[in-house]
């Protein structure tokens, strides 16, 4: 662990020194330093999750504790296993939301990138403009509107507002523009393929790596979203993990925060994201140019 600490400290020096050097181990070293910088605090969560409540604030920050399995057992037993319910909810929100979001983004991005039509830029700017309004601001009006139609405190109230994501549409547009050669679409049209068929058979397969990125981003964003579900949901049986874990942290006036459970829960909630990332990243290796007709 001391090595990790030292490496973090030397990060800046290494950055400066390697910039002008000839190619060798320098790129790998730079990248690894970046990885260590990003990983170090995550490693801390891992270590902290192994500590029993007594060890958390009394033993050295970077030494492993002895309470990991107790923490896990306690977390799973908490309120009759409500952790699993929260995890299932989160999976539903993030999985469903990201899937729908990717579909909407890909189709929109394709249309914006590969068609010329009246209002194209206006629509694009409008959709992208959505990112200008902070989520903190939207949460309460969205809640009031969902209440108005009787959908507040339902799974829909968390799922639906998170489908549209300006960033996803932007990425899909840029990606479609770069990855789908016009010549391929024209060739398809000459062969008599309809636009819908071009989308599903030509465009979407070429956009897979971009869609994977969008899915991943949206999945992680919904997985970690706090404010919207916090406002929308009253029933603790519909909470996602973030809101659920928050009830452990802000355990109420004068109730101690259950740090060991929160840290263990946070660690466990990162694990599916890592698994997702590992399964998804093979799609990035697809060599885009190989399939393209020039």
Partner 1 sequence: MRANRLGVLAVALTVTCMSGALTGCGSGEPAESPEAAPATTAPQGPVKLTYWTWAPNMDKIVKAWNDANPDIQVTVSKQAGGDDAAAKYLTAAKAGNPPDLVQAEYQHLPSFIAADAVADLKAETDPIKGEFSEGLWNLVTLGTDAVYGIPQDSGPMMLFYRKDLFDKYGIEVPKTWQEYGEAARTVRKKDPKAYLGTFSSKDPGAFTGLAQQAGAQWWSISGESWKVDIADEPTKKVADYWGGLVKEGAIDDMPYFTPEWNKALNDGKLLTWPSAVWAPGVLSSNAPKAKGKWAVAPLPQWNAGESFSGFWGGSSTAVSTKTPNKAAAAKFATWLNTDPKAIDLLVKEAAIYPAATAAQSGLGEAPEYFSNQPDFWQQAAAVSVGARGFTFGPNVGVTFNSFKDGFDKALQDGTPFSAAVQAMQDATVADMRKSGFQIAS
Partner 2 sequence: MKRSQKGAWPYLFLTPAIVLFTLFLAVPIAYTVYLAMRRTRVSGLGLGKGARREAFVGFDNFAAALADAELWQGWLRVLGYGALVLVVMLGLALLFALLLDSARVRLARFSRIAIFLPYAVPGVAATLLWGFLYLPSLSPIRAVLDVDYLGATTVTYSMANVAVWGGVGFNMLVLYTALRAIPRDLYEAARLDGASEVQIALRVKIPMLTPAIVLTTVFSIIATIQVFTEPTALRPLTNTISSTWSPLMKVYRDAFVTGDLYSAAATSIVIAAISLVLSFGFLRVVRDRAFREG
The contact set with partner 1 (CB under 8 A) reads 53-54, 56-58, 79-80, 84-85, 88-89, 92, 95-96, 140, 143-145, 147-149, 151-153, 155-156, 160, 230-231, 234-238, 243, 246-247, 249-259
Min dist CB 186 to partner 1, Å, is 34
Q: Using the 8-state DSSP alphabet, how is residue 22 labeled?
A: P
- Binding flag, residue 54, partner 2 (CB under 8 A): no
Which residues 169-208 are close enough to bind partner 2 by CB under 8 A? 169-171, 174-175, 177-179, 189, 192, 194-196, 199
Binding mask 17-36 for partner 2 (x = CB under 8 A): ------x---xx-xxx-xxx
CB of 279 to partner 1, least distance (A): 20
Does 62 bind partner 2 (CB under 8 A)? Our answer is yes
246 three-class SS: helix
Question: If binding means CB under 8 A, how many residues of this protein chain bind partner 2?
Answer: 105
* Cα–Cα distance, 268 to 281 (Å, whole number): 21
Minimum Å gap between C-beta 22 and partner 1 is 46
Q: Rounded to whole angstroms, how far apart are CA atoms 101 and 22?
A: 43
Q: Of partner 1, partner 2, none, which one sits near residue 79, judging by CB under 5 to 8 A according to partner kind? A: partner 1
Tokens standing for residue 217 = 């981003």
Alpha-carbon distance of 179 to 62, in angstroms, equals: 46
How far is it, in rounded angstroms, from Cα 7 to Cα 28?
14
Rounded to a whole number of angstroms, the distance between the first and last alpha carbons of the chain is 52
Q: Please give the residues from 206 up to 245 whose contact with partner 2 meets the rule CB under 8 A.
A: 209-210, 213, 216-217, 220, 223-224, 226, 241-242, 245
Contacted entry of partner 2, partner 1, none for residue 256, CB cut-off 5 to 8 Å set by kind: partner 1
Q: In whole angstroms, how far apart are CA 73 and each of 125, 159, 184, 261, 274?
A: 50, 30, 56, 10, 22
Residues in contact with 69: Cβ distance below 8 Å, sequence separation at least 6, in sequence order: none
Residue 45: name its binding partner from partner 2, partner 1, none (Cβ under 5 to 8 Å by kind). Answer: partner 2
Sole binder of partner 2 in the list 54, 77, 145, 186 (CB under 8 A):
145
Closest to partner 1 by CB, 40 or 283: 40
Residue 91 contacts partner 2 per CB under 8 A:
no
CB–CB of 219/98 below 8 Å?
yes
CB of 293 to partner 2, least distance (A): 11
Question: Residue 231: helix, strand or coil by DSSP?
Answer: helix
Figure out which of the listed residues 14, 164, 204, 251 binds partner 2, where binding follows CB under 8 A.
164
Site mask for partner 2 (CB under 8 A), range 102-131, x = bound? -xxx-xx-xxxxxx-x--x--x--xx-xxx
Specify burial of residue 289 (Cβ count, 10 A radius: 0-12, 13-18, 19+): exposed
Sign of the Cα torsion 5, 6, 7, 8 reads positive
């Amino acid at each position: 662990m001391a090595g990790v600490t030292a490496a973090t400290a030397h990060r800046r020096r290494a950055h400066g020194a390697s910039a002008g050097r000839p190619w060798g181990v320098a790129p790998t070293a730079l990248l690894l330093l970046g990885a260590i910088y990003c990983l170090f605090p995550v490693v801390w969560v891992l270590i902290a999750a192994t500590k029993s409540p007594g060890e958390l604030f009394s033993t050295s920050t970077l030494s492993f504790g002895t309470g990991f399995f107790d923490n896990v057992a306690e977390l799973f037993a908490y309120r009759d296993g409500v952790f699993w319910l929260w995890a299932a909810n989160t999976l539903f929100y993030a999985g469903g939301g990201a899937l729908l979001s990717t579909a909407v983004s890909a189709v929109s991005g394709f249309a914006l990138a590969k068609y010329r039509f009246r209002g194209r830029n206006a629509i694009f700017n409008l959709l992208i403009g959505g990112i200008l309004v902070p989520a903190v601001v939207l949460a309460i009006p969205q809640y009031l509107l969902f209440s108005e139609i009787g959908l507040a405190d339902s799974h829909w109230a968390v799922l639906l507002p998170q489908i549209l994501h300006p960033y996803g549409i932007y990425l899909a547009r840029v990606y479609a523009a770069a990855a789908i050669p016009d010549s391929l679409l024209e060739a398809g049209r000459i062969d008599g393929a309809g636009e819908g068929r071009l989308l599903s058979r030509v465009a979407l397969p070429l956009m897979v790596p971009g869609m994977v990125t969008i899915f991943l981003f949206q999945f992680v964003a919904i997985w970690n979203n706090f404010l919207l579900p916090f406002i929308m949901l009253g029933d603790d049986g519909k909470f996602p993990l973030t809101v659920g874990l928050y009830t452990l942290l802000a355990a109420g006036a004068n109730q101690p925060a259950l740090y060991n459970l929160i840290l263990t829960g946070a660690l466990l909630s990162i694990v599916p994201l890592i698994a997702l990332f590992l399964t998804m990243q093979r799609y990035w290796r697809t060599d885009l140019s190989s399939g393209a007709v020039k």
